[in-house]
Amino acid sequence: MNETVRATIESAIKECDGHVAKCRRARSLLAPTFPLTSDDFKKMGEEQIEHLDQFIYRFTKMQDSMGTRLLPSLYRYVEADDAPKPFLNVLLRLEQLEILTSAEQWQFFRNLRNNLAHDYPESIDQTVDTLNTLNEDFEAFEDMYNKIRRYWESLQQDS
């Protein structure tokens, strides 16, 4: 079990590293446009929209990868427990072990991800609010990931 789980964790970290790099780049290119207003959003040029799409896509993919691969696999590895567990239990245990900053913070970012997954033309104000929140709080998301990554690296140095 450990080698398979270890490989999944390593793969998820590589994937997330790529997403972080792309998010950082997109954010830096979008920096002059934040904070967004609904009018700004409606008037965005094609290039800005492409950068915004990249930011949203990479954040969403990273959040998904962490939630479906990295966190469950890290839990299995640390706890040596292959039995299925509700994801909330996994989050709470990783928080208790101080691997995850906070289960509540994870849920916050999951909600942002879910809000961004639904793109309705009539809800531009909500989309703009969500994008502003993501831009403002992205560093906290990256910090959460980096804490997990550092924990994994410390485990590898000890073994």
With a cut of 90, say whether residue 22 has pLDDT above it: yes
pLDDT digits (tens, 9 = 90+) for 44-97: 999 999 999 999 999 999 999 999 999 999 999 999 998 999 999 999 999 999
**pLDDT at position 26, please?**
98
Q: What gap in Å lies between CA 130 and CA 116, rounded to an integer? A: 7
Q: What gap in Å lies between CA 100 and CA 139, rounded to an integer? A: 15
Quick one: average pLDDT of 16-25? 98
Quick one: average pLDDT of 26-33? 97
**pLDDT at position 151, please?**
97
Which domains are seen in the chain, by residue range?
A: 2-158 (1.20.120)
Say how many C-beta atoms besides its own lie within 10 A of residue 134's C-beta: 21
pLDDT digits (tens, 9 = 90+) for 99-146: 999 999 999 999 999 999 887 667 899 999 999 999 999 999 999 999
**pLDDT at position 132, please?**
97
Quick one: average pLDDT of 10-33? 98
**pLDDT at position 108, please?**
98
Residue 98 region, left (φ>0) first, then alpha (ψ -120 to 50), else beta? left
